[in-house]
């Protein structure tokens, strides 16, 4: 795929390979890893605007960042325009350059609360949320799906609404809400949206290799791709796609992630995050299943280092 920079308002993304917001994974350390390997933009885990309003401690922890993160992007989840506008302009998000509005989460409890992909059923409210977040003065992006049901997709029309409301970029997961995370993404729907708007369109869904990324770009004409779970399984994919050199081993990366995480979070969080990340990174490594249980039983950083060495070192 062609690697290029993307202009978002006053920001210039260094590449058009993005990392999706993923609950439990895209904390500050992982975002820094993805940036180091060539990602153009990475997002925090999904943050509830309502939870932020009441200064929920666990939600505030999702906002951990540092000056080394040159471009900071937060993903906000919410369905009340006034609350979304208030949080977008609040001191809690003062360090962030980009606000990504979640209009794609398909899980039932989010959908039933009128948030996530439910906003694709209420364009007036969705537009009000975009306009409200724009009043923060930050770059505003939207992540959505192709529609609610597989037999009734309206990607291009929804993309036009987002652009008219002021969105600077739209990322489209090529599945409808009813498809959840299964089934082949509809590249044609993303292509229709790309043809309908002038703002950057990013293609997401079903990308598990460099070949998949190239195929998605070719089929959609999108301005870039957004990686999700495969970015955890193979972080080197960012380097493979962008050509940014990386001579580190998987073990080195994992140990650096542990060190950085311990610097900003407590030990409990660190152990949980590193175990989850290692679990993804070892997926296609042969002969490692026997060490997996030992890794997940590790109760200290030292024990986790030893278990990881058995898995990731020759």
The average pLDDT across 242-261 equals 96
Question: Can 105 be counted among the known catalytic residues?
Answer: yes
CA atoms 106, 108, 109, 111: torsion sign:
positive
In tens, the pLDDT along 94-118 reads: 999 999 999 999 999 999 999 999 9
Pairing of strands 11-13, 17-19: unpaired
CB distance 274 to 304 below 8 Å: yes
Kindly report, residue by residue over 265-274, the tens digit of the pLDDT: 999 999 999 9
Q: Mean per-residue pLDDT for 197-224? A: 98
pLDDT category of residue 280 using cuts at 50, 70 and 90: very high
**Whether the predicted pLDDT of 290 surpasses 90:** no
The Cα-based distances of 202 to 55, 116, 166, 261, 305 in angstroms read: 32, 18, 16, 29, 37
Three-state SS across the chain? Answer: CCCCCEEECCEEECCCEEECCCCCCCCHHHHHHHHHCCCCEEEEEEEEHHHHHCCCHHHHHCCCCCCCCCCCEEEEECCCHHHHHHHHCCHHHCCCCEEEEEECCCCHHHHHCCCHHHHHHCHHHHHHHHHHHHCCCCEEEEEECCEEECCEECHHHHHHHHHHHCCCEEEEECCCHHHCCCCCCCHHHHHHHHHHCCCCEEEECCCCCHHHHHHHHHHHCCCEEEECHHHHHCCCHHHHHHCCCCCCCHHHHHHHHHHHHHHHCCHHHHHHHHHHHHHHHCCCCCCCHHHHHHHHHCCCHHHHHHHHHHHHCC
Are the beta carbons of 43 and 19 closer than 8 angstroms?
A: yes
Average pLDDT for residues 278-282, to the nearest whole number?
95
Q: CA torsion 70→13→205→312, rounded to 10°?
A: -50
Cα separations in angstroms, 288 against 229, 256, 313: 20, 21, 11
- Is residue 78 a contact partner of residue 42, using CB atoms and an 8 Å limit? no
Instruction: Write the pLDDT tens digit of every residue in 24-79.
Output: 999 999 999 999 999 999 999 999 999 999 999 999 999 999 999 999 999 999 99
Mean confidence (pLDDT) of the chain:
96
* pLDDT score, position 286: 80
pLDDT at 8 over 90: yes
Binned at pLDDT 50, 70 and 90, residue 292 comes out as confident
pLDDT at 275: 97
The model carries a pTM of: 0.96
Per-residue confidence band for 81, with pLDDT thresholds at 50, 70 and 90: very high
Among the listed residues 66, 12, 15, the one whose alpha carbon sits nearest the alpha carbon of residue 44:
66
Mean pLDDT within 139-156: 97
Q: Contact, 86 vs 53, CB < 8 A?
A: yes
Three-state DSSP string of 180-199: CCCCCCCHHHHHHHHHHCCC
Q: Are 52 and 84 in contact (CB under 8 A)?
A: no
Whether the per-residue pLDDT at 297 is higher than 90: the answer is yes
Catalytic residue among 27, 47, 105, 133: 105
Q: Kindly tell me if the per-residue pLDDT of 287 is higher than 80.
A: no
Q: Is the pLDDT of residue 234 over 90?
A: yes
pLDDT band, very low/low/confident/very high, at 291 (cuts 50, 70, 90): confident
* β-bridge pairing 201-204 and 11-13: unpaired
């Amino acid at each position: 795929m062609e690697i290029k920079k993307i202009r978002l308002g006053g920001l210039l993304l260094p590449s058009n390979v993005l990392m999706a917001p993923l609950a439990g994974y895209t904390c500050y350390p992982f975002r820094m890893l993805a940036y180091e390997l060539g990602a153009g933009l990475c997002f925090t885990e999904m943050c509830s605007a309502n939870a932020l309003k009441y200064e929920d401690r666990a939600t505030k922890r999702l906002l951990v960042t540092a000056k080394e993160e040159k471009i900071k992007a937060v993903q906000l989840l919410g369905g009340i325009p006034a609350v979304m506008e208030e949080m977008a302009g609040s001191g809690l998000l003062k360090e962030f350059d980009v606000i990504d509005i979640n209009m794609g989460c398909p899980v039932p409890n989010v959908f039933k609360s009128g948030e996530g992909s439910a906003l694709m059923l209420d364009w007036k409210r969705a537009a009000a949320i975009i306009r409200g977040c724009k009043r923060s003065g930050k770059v505003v992006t939207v992540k959505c799906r192709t529609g609610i049901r597989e037999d009734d997709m309206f990607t291009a029309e929804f993309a036009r609404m987002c652009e008219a409301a002021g969105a600077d970029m739209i990322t489209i997961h090529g599945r409808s809400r009813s498809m959840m995370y299964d089934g082949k993404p509809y590249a044609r729907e993303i292509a229709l949206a790309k043809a309908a708007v002038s703002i950057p369109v990013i293609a997401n869904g079903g990308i598990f290799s460099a070949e998949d990324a190239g195929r998605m770009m070719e089929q959609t004409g999108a301005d870039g791709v957004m990686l999700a779970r495969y970015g955890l399984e193979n972080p080197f994919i960012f380097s493979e796609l962008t050509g940014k050199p990386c001579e580190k081993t998987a073990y080195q990366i994992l140990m650096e992630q542990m060190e950085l995480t311990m610097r900003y979070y407590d030990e409990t969080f660190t152990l949980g995050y590193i175990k989850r990340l290692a679990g993804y990174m070892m997926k296609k490594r042969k002969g490692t299943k026997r060490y997996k249980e030992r890794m997940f039983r590790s109760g200290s950083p030292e024990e986790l280092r030893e278990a990881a060495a058995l898995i990731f070192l020759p």
